[in-house]
Amino acid sequence: MTNHRKNQYRQLGLTIAYYRKLRGFTQLQLAETVNLSRTHISNLEAPNMPTSISLDKLFDISDALDIPIKTFFDFHDV
């Protein structure tokens, strides 16, 4: 996996974490809402652990957090 792709996964995970916290969800609550394990949510949000997710589950997370799916892909250079 390229560094560019790893950075994209990192940004995706940090965005999920940001909106999860903003909505007042714990990792466990989000995981139960979208039928994933808490560990998988934790791995998604971990900045040093690029973890993939299906588009279907990403749509579920988008719905649970009540944000547009495109928000997850509004990457900013860091």
Q: From first to last of its 78 residues, what are the pLDDT tens digits of the chain?
A: 788 888 889 999 999 999 999 999 999 999 999 999 999 999 999 988 888 889 999 999 999 999 999 999 887 654
Residue 53 lies in domain: 3-71
Q: What is the pLDDT of residues 49-58, one digit of tens each?
A: 888 889 999 9
Task: Please check whether residue 78 lies inside any domain of the structure.
Answer: no
Q: What is the pLDDT of residues 31-40, one digit of tens each?
A: 999 999 999 9
Distance CA 72, CA 59 (A): 10
CATH assignment of the domain containing 29: 1.10.260.40
Task: Please check whether residue 76 lies inside any domain of the structure.
Answer: no
SS3 content of the chain, % helix, strand, coil (to 5): 65, 0, 35
Task: Please check whether residue 77 lies inside any domain of the structure.
Answer: no
Task: Please check whether residue 44 lies inside any domain of the structure.
Answer: yes
Domain count, the chain: 1
On the CB side of 50, how many CA atoms lie within 13 Å of its CA? 10
DSSP per residue, 40-72: HHHHHH-TT------HHHHHHHHHHHT--GGGG
